[in-house]
A and B are shown apart, each in its own frame.
Chain A
Amino acid sequence: MVGIRKVQHRKFITVLVVLALITAGLAAWWYIESKRDDILVLATTTSTYDSGLLDEIVPDFEETYGVRVKTIAMGTGQALELGRNGDADVILVHAPEREEEFVEEGYGKYRYEVMYNEFVLVGPEDDPAGVRGSQDVSEAFNRLYENRGSITFCSRGDDSGTHIKEIELWEDAGFDHDEIDSQAHSHWYKSLGQGMGDTLRTANELDGYALTDEATYISLKEEVSGLDIHFSGDQELFNQYGVIPVCENMNPNVNNELGEEFASWIVSEEVQDMIDNYIIDGEKIFTANAQI
């Protein structure tokens, strides 16, 4: 009996020791991790990340500067919020007005323009709203509204850069976006609260229209084959990306030095060329336009 109890106790102690070791290992690991100053946290948008561009160019930065980059892909709103909280060191998003606000509030040091792609208006092949041939994007949105009885419009509805742009376009076309949004019960305007890919897939299923960045549409073309581009090319539809190093004044833990190095790196001639040469399925995705 005594012998068995000893064995049982030993097993119990072994379990405890293993658990203690796991805990100690974790503690040691994050302690070492937290002391590193060679890690850059980059907050960016899902559309940028999903295009695969960052996987292509970021290793160059890591090699050149001997650092590691942690890339976090979220909505523009969330990415900026990470910056405000000091949880990101540099931000790469596409909502110029919000970005300028961010810098003015003192959270960002400065903003460089990096590149652009285009927003396009996609919809069912037969274009029931007759958007094709509109003079400008305002007319296109007016045609959508006029035909609201017979069409569906799928909005991101997630405070992303694309959603912010869509709101702007409705307002510029002379509508009150809040009012359109509150017409949800009329079933034509659907606020999805989803990412770009999901929104396109939904629009495809519902035979609806959607505003999308061209890059995502190109990469999903085969899956959303029921959708065609019906309007593009208006100056208003430029989708400008900017880079902002987060200011260390608000949060001393921000790695501002690396953030600034990243900003200078991404607008350098060499990296701008890499952006211009990034091609998916034979189509160019982004056009670099930093003013160096």
Chain B
Amino acid sequence: MASDLLHVTVLSIFVSVSATLLASAMAVPLGTVMGLHKFRGREVVKTFTYTLYGFPPVVAGLLIYLLLSQRGPLGSLNLLFTPAAMILAQMVLVFPIITGLTMSSVSQVAGEVKETAMTLGADRWQTAKTVLNEARIGVISAIMVGFGRAIAEVGAVLMVGGNIRWHTRVLTTAIVLETRRGNFEYALVLGAVLLTVALIVFFVLKRYQDKGVKI
């Protein structure tokens, strides 16, 4: 039971951290650009992004399943029922959230900071960095919310991971299984472990939020 618990916890962290990092790597730059620049159709893109906040995890799971199934277009990659598929599914769910929230917080500080930085002779790259640093509380909150969604999500990873012991079982799918089996106490223990993991991750992120990230 103890080695089960350890495996499930480590896999949970691995999958959700990877999904959040990979999604952030694309979503933060994209959100920054969208927050800094006014372009045609920006409001439409914004509304569309916000709509995807409510993307149902099970639907994300179903779409990824159909994509990765042997009968699907990417079936030959043999990704179904692997952690990679779970990471992909969580990325789909997390990406719009991080993009949208980054965009909001960047556009909030953009006007003033952008002008000041440009007056001081900053180039576009430096301006973007300065704005991003000013908006960091919002941006890191965006990543936190994204991670929170990823680690707590169950429908999508159950569908594309299959909740396979030693392979794709994570904390949330294990909670579903143990509840179904009637092991309520163990399910609660798993829930507590999940919250502890979230606590540690959020603690680390909050420190960056307070002190700032120098990149």
B71, B129, B180 — most chain A CB neighbours (10 Å): B180
Closest CB of chain A to B185's CB: distance in Å? 12
Query: Which A189-229 residues have C-beta < 8 A from chain B?
Result: 195-198, 219-220, 223
State A120–B179 Cα separation when bound (angstroms). Answer: 22
What are the interface flags for B141-165 relative to A under an 8 Å C-beta threshold, 1 for contact and 0 otherwise? Answer: 0000000000000000000001111
Query: Which B59-99 residues have C-beta < 8 A from chain A?
Result: 69-72, 75-82, 84, 87
> Across the interface, which residues of B come within 8 angstroms of A198, CB to CB?
180
Check if B165 sits within 8 Å of A195, measured CB to CB: no
Check if B84 sits within 8 Å of A29, measured CB to CB: yes
B181 within 8 A of A: yes
- Considering only CB atoms and an 8 Å cut-off, how many residues of chain B contact the other chain? 32
A287 within 8 A of B: no
> Across the interface, which residues of A come within 8 angstroms of B76, CB to CB?
253
Closest CB of chain B to A55's CB: distance in Å? 7
B42 within 8 A of A: no
User: Total A-B pairs in contact (CB under 8 Å)?
Assistant: 80
Closest CB of chain B to A164's CB: distance in Å? 19
> Across the interface, which residues of A come within 8 angstroms of B70, CB to CB?
85-87, 251, 253-254
Check if B18 sits within 8 Å of A85, measured CB to CB: no
Check if A72 sits within 8 Å of B162, measured CB to CB: yes
Query: Which A245-284 residues have C-beta < 8 A from chain B?
Result: 251, 253-254
B37 within 8 A of A: no
What are the interface flags for A226-238 relative to B under an 8 Å C-beta threshold, 1 for contact and 0 otherwise? Answer: 0000000000000
Check if A26 sits within 8 Å of B182, measured CB to CB: no
A19: contacting residue among B21, B72, B80, CB under 8 A: B21
> Across the interface, which residues of A come within 8 angstroms of B25, CB to CB?
19
State A85–B71 Cα separation when bound (angstroms). Answer: 6
Check if B77 sits within 8 Å of A223, measured CB to CB: no
> Across the interface, which residues of B come within 8 angstroms of A71, CB to CB?
164-165
B211 within 8 A of A: no
Check if B180 sits within 8 Å of A195, measured CB to CB: yes
A53 within 8 A of B: no
Check if B75 sits within 8 Å of A253, measured CB to CB: yes
> Across the interface, which residues of B come within 8 angstroms of A195, CB to CB?
180
B38 within 8 A of A: no
State A106–B57 Cα separation when bound (angstroms). Answer: 33
B164: contacting residue among A46, A52, A72, CB under 8 A: A72
A183 within 8 A of B: no
State A195–B129 Cα separation when bound (angstroms). Answer: 51
B22 within 8 A of A: yes
B124 within 8 A of A: no
> Across the interface, which residues of B come within 8 angstroms of A85, CB to CB?
69-72
A104 within 8 A of B: no
Check if A70 sits within 8 Å of B180, measured CB to CB: no
Check if B81 sits within 8 Å of A72, measured CB to CB: yes
State A251–B21 Cα separation when bound (angstroms). Answer: 35
Query: Which B176-213 residues have C-beta < 8 A from chain A?
Result: 177, 179-182, 184
Closest CB of chain B to A249's CB: distance in Å? 13
What are the interface flags for A157-200 relative to B under an 8 Å C-beta threshold, 1 for contact and 0 otherwise? Answer: 00000000000000000000000000000000000000111100
State A87–B77 Cα separation when bound (angstroms). Answer: 12
Check if A30 sits within 8 Å of B182, measured CB to CB: no
Closest CB of chain B to A199's CB: distance in Å? 10
A87: contacting residue among B80, B129, B165, B167, CB under 8 A: B80
> Across the interface, which residues of A come within 8 angstroms of B184, CB to CB?
223
Q: Which A positions have Cβ atoms within 8 angstroms of B?
A: 7-8, 11-12, 15, 19, 22-23, 26, 29-30, 33-34, 41, 46, 50, 52, 55, 70-74, 85-87, 195-198, 219-220, 223, 251, 253-254
- Apart from the given pairs A22-B22, A26-B84, A85-B70, 12 other A-B contacts in the complex at a CB distance below 8 Å: A8-B214, A8-B215, A12-B215, A19-B21, A26-B18, A73-B177, A85-B69, A85-B71, A86-B69, A195-B180, A197-B179, A223-B182
CB-CB nearest 4 A-B residue pairs: A34-B78, A86-B70, A72-B162, A70-B164
Q: List 29 A-B contacts (CB under 8 A).
A: A7-B214, A11-B215, A15-B215, A22-B22, A29-B84, A30-B84, A34-B78, A46-B180, A50-B180, A50-B181, A70-B81, A70-B164, A70-B167, A71-B164, A71-B165, A73-B163, A73-B177, A85-B72, A86-B70, A86-B71, A86-B75, A87-B69, A87-B81, A196-B180, A197-B180, A197-B181, A198-B180, A223-B184, A253-B70
